[in-house]
Amino acid sequence: AQKVTQAQTEISVVEKEDVTLDCVYETRDTTYYLFWYKQPPSGELVFLIRRNSFDEQNEISGRYSWNFQKSTSSFNFTITASQVVDSAVYFCALSEDPIQGAQKLVFGQGTRLTINP
Amino acid sequence: NAGVTQTPKFQVLKTGQSMTLQCAQDMNHEYMSWYRQDPGMGLRLIHYSVGAGITDQGEVPNGYNVSRSTTEDFPLRLLSAAPSQTSVYFCASSLRHRRPGELFFGEGSRLTVL
């Protein structure tokens, strides 16, 4: 069975600090996808990134970066120079190869990130 | 674009009552799904559909029914509400193949069962 663990329930930092959100996953599949979603106070979840199991390249998008390591089954998310607008709940998720388009994501418990001014 | 629209946003039910959570999307997405979000448990998949006329169960389907008569709509029915179904419900949709896992979520429906 697939499982995603986000051990950090809550993180609180001061604005401009760097912060890393941890994500560890379990799967027996050789082909799978990993995701990060953001849930701001407004409530809806917003897609941030997708990685497939064959692409271990790290990715950077502005202040956001993601580190995928198959050897440790981790997909960590770092925010550099955090801002108050980054305050949200962040979810890591995992899915098997979507057979016939069935995209069944398994989510972690979420990490509530608070950026204090 | 409206994206994914869920109604109602808030609902209070008594145990045993039935109701339907509505979900509509205007992006012509083939794939639609329902999740529930509970504290400390993340989101769990209830039911999903890969196209009109096709539905299947997710991780926690008991107590819920779905149907998909059109591409746009994917209602979730609670036949006999129980306190354990108190949760926030999210509908999500996506293109079936082009961008796997890139789900577009509605704003959520908060349901309380007394």
**B58 close to A (CB below 8 A):** yes
Determine the pLDDT at residue A1. Answer: 82
Q: Is A82 on the interface with B (CB under 8 A)?
A: no
Mean pLDDT (chain A, rounded): 93
Q: Which B residues 79-98 touch A at CB under 8 Å?
A: 88, 90, 92, 94, 96-97
Give me the phi and psi of A2, to 5 degrees please: -85, 145
Count the Cβ atoms, other than its own, within 10 Å of residue B11.
17
Answer whether residue B97 shows pLDDT above 90: no
With vertex at residue B32, the alpha carbon angle to CA B28 and CA B38, rounded to the nearest 5 degrees, is: 140
Name the residue facing A35 among B48, B90, B101 (closest C-beta). Answer: B101
User: In 3-state terms, what secondary structure has residue B49?
Assistant: strand
Measured distance CA(A37)–CA(B41) in Å, rounded: 15
Token digits of residue B103: 């789900």
Cβ pair A50:B100 closer than 8 A: yes
Q: At A84, is the pLDDT very low, low, confident or very high (cuts 50, 70, 90)?
A: very high
Give ∠ CA A74-A111-A85 in degrees, rounded to 5.
115
Closest-CA residue of B relative to A109 is B42
By C-alpha distance, the chain B residue nearest A102 is: B50
Higher pLDDT, B1 or A45: A45
pLDDT, tens only, B13-61: 999 999 999 999 999 999 999 999 998 889 999 999 999 999 999 999 9
CB of B10 less than 8 A from some CB of A: no
SS3 content of chain A, % helix, strand, coil (to 5): 10, 50, 40
Residue B2 is predicted with a pLDDT of: 77
A44 token code pair: 């809806």
| Plot region of A18 (φ>0 → left; ψ -120 to 50 → alpha; else → beta) | beta
Per the structure block, which two tokens stand in for B59? Answer: 């991780």
Burial class (CB in 10 A: 0-12, 13-18, 19+), A74: middle
Looking at residue B95, what is its pLDDT? Answer: 85
Element (H, E) at B42: strand B42-51
